[in-house]
A and B are shown apart, each in its own frame.
Chain A
């Protein structure tokens, strides 16, 4: 059974860089059929897509975040990572890592999710 687990600091200071890692177990990250992505959810609010990375390193970023965003993959560790720079209080959210299919009309949805990690931006 595929499992995803987020890890990283739960508290980040304003203007600094938020860094999270998602460790994938029970399956390989190096699969043609899937993107590995990040979704966030501010407390009490809705879901926001952040971006995807493919095992080759290709990325897709949310237009609203792309100027501050880097998503990378480390296939040797079966992990992918998120870096969001110049954070403010509005970046306070539960951050989820999740797997999303690449094939339109076939597996084009998030099928496995991590449990989520709350990251608070505060001094």
Chain B
């Protein structure tokens, strides 16, 4: 099964912007835009922040944005805030019906 690769950690200071990359190897990941991003605080269930590469669910701050180029999807968080410190996971919904998750990226707000 194809994997999604993310950096283990990223950090930034309050007010700055950070970007988390997610690299995929499946043909579905490259060809389609069924990529979502989840935020997970310690001890809590994940929460979707971005779906279909760049769409935000209702109630999600526009400080969160997504993009994709080729085999790499990216999540950008602008105007970093202390509450953004969390783990972030990319995910791909494959045409087979399978769901892939990246290994997760720990965001530290300095």
Contact = CB atoms under 8 A, between A and B. Distances in A.
A110 B38 contact: yes
Interface string B63-100: 00000000000000000000000000101010111111
Given A105-B33, A105-B52, A109-B36, A49 B45 contact: no
Contact of B45 (A46, A107, A113): A113
Contacts of B95: 104
Interface residues of A, number: 26
B23 to A, nearest CB: 15
Tier of interface size on chain B:
20 to 34
Given A46-B102, A114-B45, A109 B89 contact: no
29 contacts: A39-B46, A47-B38, A47-B89, A47-B101, A48-B101, A49-B98, A49-B99, A60-B96, A62-B98, A63-B98, A96-B45, A100-B93, A100-B99, A104-B32, A106-B52, A107-B51, A108-B51, A108-B52, A109-B48, A109-B51, A109-B52, A109-B91, A109-B93, A110-B36, A110-B46, A110-B91, A113-B46, A113-B47, A114-B45
